[in-house]
Amino acid sequence: MSVVLLWVVSPKQNASSLLGLMPRICTPRRSKFCPKLGFSSRVLAYSGAVVNPARSSEEKVYEVVLKQAALVEEQSTVKRKSLDLDERIVTEGLDNWDLLDKAYDRCGEVCAEYAKTFYLGTLLMTPERRRAVWAIYVWCRRTDELVDGPNASYITPKALDRWEKRLTDLFEGRPYDMYDAALSDTVTKYPVDIQPFRDMVEGMRLDLRKSRYQNFDELYLYCYYVAGTVGLMSVPVMGICPESRASTESVYNAALALGIANQLTNILRDVGEDARRGRVYLPQDELGSW
């Protein structure tokens, strides 16, 4: 899980220099805070079949964990249909394989420039997995920049809707640009589900409309959206050792906890910066008790 720890660190630094990566509509956010990281036995007992509408955020997120774990187990023996890029990308003297290689290489360059430590960690992976993780990283970074980048003041809910529609298109084999093409190819090779990606976009929506969190339960859900999702995106690519005695569910649980822990750490680190932006991620009920 040490590689997961490297990756789950939220991709947010040097935002202003990412302008060249921005989609036309702009870019997304980051992760942050930390008490209860482990799931209690009460949450585990609920499994994914909780009917009580007053579920905690942990219970709601745990349903996603169960779904992702089941997807990996279901698809681990199924060879997914490969992506045909011929009708979607116009090249200039290059065949589509050359273009796809260049897309992955560019994702690696972005990763090396903006996430140096994480990039070094990816070099420990196999070339195929390394490229796939680069593609995921770039999508997350572009998404984060939508609400935290230099053009964040121009981002509207409709812009995020368009970004989510673009996400759906790339999962269906219709990438918009070379970065999308790399991720579109990745999701045909690994059992990567679209739900964590959609949930990250939902975290961006929260940053547009919410600047205070009443309690840790509200904050936990935000941390899942903007950081825990990264762990769920990454596990299918990084894989689980065949000799491991850990269940798929427990591996996803650990990846989720790492993402949330890093987001909580970011929140504590960025208290001053966030306050200057009018955002307070520390739970209001806990602040009120000091």
Specify the pLDDT at position 130.
Answer: 97
Q: Over the range 213-235, which residues count as b (16 or more CB within 10 Å of their CB) and which as e? A: beebbbbbbbbbbbbbbbbbbbb
Tokens read off for 247: 């269940």
| DSSP 8-class letter at 17 | G
Cα 98 from Cα 85, distance rounded (Å)? 11
Q: What is the mean pLDDT of the chain?
A: 79
pLDDT band with cut points at 50, 70 and 90 for residue 224? very high
User: Look-up: residue for tokens 């850990």?
Assistant: 246
Residues 6+ apart with CB under 8 A from 290: none
Residue 76 has pLDDT above 70, yes or no: no
Q: Does 190 have pLDDT greater than 90?
A: yes
Which alpha helices (H) appear in 149-247, and where do they start and end?
Answer: 157-171, 178-189, 195-209, 216-223, 229-238
- Which tens digits make up the pLDDT trace of 14-30? 433 444 454 544 333 44
| Structure confidence at residue 266 as a pLDDT band (50, 70, 90) | very high
Closest CA to 248 of 65, 36, 45, 37: 65
Domains and CATH numbers, the chain: 58-73+96-288 (1.10.600.10)
